[in-house]
Amino acid sequence: MALPRGSGPPSPAAVARALLEHIEGWYATHAEDAVDPAVPLPERRYVAGGAPREVAWDEDAGQLTVAIERVSFGARPTGPVGGTQAGRRDPGRRAGLTRLVSLEVQIVRPAPALDFYGRAPERDELDAHGYLLGVDAKHLAGAVVDAASGTALLREIVPQAEVVLGDLLTLGPSGKVAGLAQVVTVPLL
């Protein structure tokens, strides 16, 4: 559940895998919570290739994905997004640059939909689904905050490392699924 130790910056893929495993561990640990226990994650879980919002939701049973949104360069994760000038000869100028990876986590769950005859779902089905996504919001946010505030996503223990958390967003419904997404930006140290 932690980023493998080593020298030099980790690959964006290794950070994505560490985040995925941390979320899986969080959900397993919090399945017995007294109030709003974590609902087991969908069986389909993977580090996704391609643009996060274009990852196929082709499994009606849902899925957990972590996709690389972008790799950027900057002096710090909270700085402006965009190009950063890297000095070609002055190593002091290059030392201030940090590579950052922005990852999007998505939890997609089955959603009530029109049945074969075109009838709308019952109110209780819609309410249960909305409540489930609300419980997922609690646990996904908890898992991401826990990963970001610990050492799960950082290879080096750097007190100044700034992991930036984006808002947790709802997605869909689309077809027979709906979900949640959260962006996490991690310095590759």
Taking only the tens place, the pLDDT of each residue in 47-63 is 999 999 999 998 889 99
Taking only the tens place, the pLDDT of each residue in 146-156 is 999 888 898 76
Token pair for 108: 């997609």
Rounded to whole angstroms, how far apart are CA atoms 76 and 103?
16
Structure letter (DSSP) for residue 89: S
Which contiguous run of DSSP H or E holds residue 126?
Answer: helix 123-149
Q: Over pLDDT 90: what percentage of the chain?
A: 60
Q: What is the dihedral of CA 128, 126, 177, 39, to 10 degrees?
A: 0
Rounded to whole angstroms, how far apart are CA atoms 163 and 77?
7
Domain boundaries, the chain: 12-187
What does the angle CA 187 – CA 107 – CA 68 come to, to the nearest 5 degrees? 30
